[in-house]
Structure 1
Amino acid sequence: MSSSPVLEALRQSTAARHHRIEAASRVEERLRDPAARAAVMRRFLDLHRSAEARTAPWDGALRTLGYRPEPRSPLIVAGLAELDETARPEAPAVRGGPFGEAIGWVYVTEGSMLGGRIMRRSMIADGIGLQGLGFLDPWGDATGIRWRAFLRAMEDACASGQAAQDDVLKGGCDAFDLACALLVPTRPTECVA
């Protein structure tokens, strides 16, 4: 699949945010540490619950376009239970925005699956136990298929006028901003674009 104009614009608009979170969050290092794992997982849970609240009103539209949304927050809650930890109560629901913004949020959460696969493989190679970390790579070999289905849905939504590209870019930037605020341990100002 060649890169689409929407995808290129989204990558360009979120690149600095994406780089900052990768450089400052040390997510894999913290997930490898049994003492830090549950705390990091709770932050992922907050991120995914927030994203799911913003995207859930548009799940049907995404399905119509050939992408099947699958929430990861239940997998994180189950992972915390495997660690004999509890999840925080759900935060009050946030109000979803336009369809394009939801697509931007899905871009970040679905894209994180690719990173989760890499982290999981690295931990396996190093003999790190994966207790509670099923949410990192729940789709296994289907991850790439899901990613391509999402990219087609995003492209079709924008091409058909169902979603505005500017809204997609805003949603992607907002999702990365929240991810940085939640996952960067000590200096969230590093997330400011």
Structure 2
Amino acid sequence: MAAYAFSKLQFPLKNIWFMLMLGTLMLPIHVKLIPQYIMYNQFGWVNTYLPLIVPKFLATDGFFVFLMTQFMRALPKEIDEAAIMDGCNEFSMYAKIIMPLSVPTLVTTSIFTFLWTWNDFFSQMIYINDVKKFTISIALRQFVDAMGHSSWGGLFAMSTLSLVPLFLMFVIFQNYLVEGITAGSVKG
């Protein structure tokens, strides 16, 4: 919805809000870490998977808002004009026209969000403290002992198994992934 607003709607200070959203891409995660931790702790989300999942659905990654905004800007204006002529308001145009056309970009965004969350060791270490709730990234780290005694066979077996969901996701959605990445890059 944020991408739709930036690409299709007119509102005061739209360009400034867009630049601020892009500015969040330049903030290191360490700058946002303490305020986010305090907020998630107050919500009771620390030691749950919620801090790793919920923000991804709320457009907290400026890169994906930018990607989808650029895709929606590349859609022909004639589509919008035809929808308005057919009696669509902004919400129905978004739900019935723009969203179905944005499926490749949505799939690309979903895949990259999943991959980045799956591989994000730092956030998982910060928000999950219980050994029983450790994610694969943190559990893999448990195989390496500080004293040099490591279970290399178990580590390599678990590493290989941890790649299976990523590989399957890529194989299943590879057509959407390529189409979503190249969408909007070539004007016809």
TM-score normalised according to structure 1 size: 0.32
Query: RCO (CA 8 Å, sep 6+): is it higher in 1 or 2?
Result: 1
- Which structure's CA Rg is the greater one? 2
TM-score normalised according to structure 2 size: 0.32
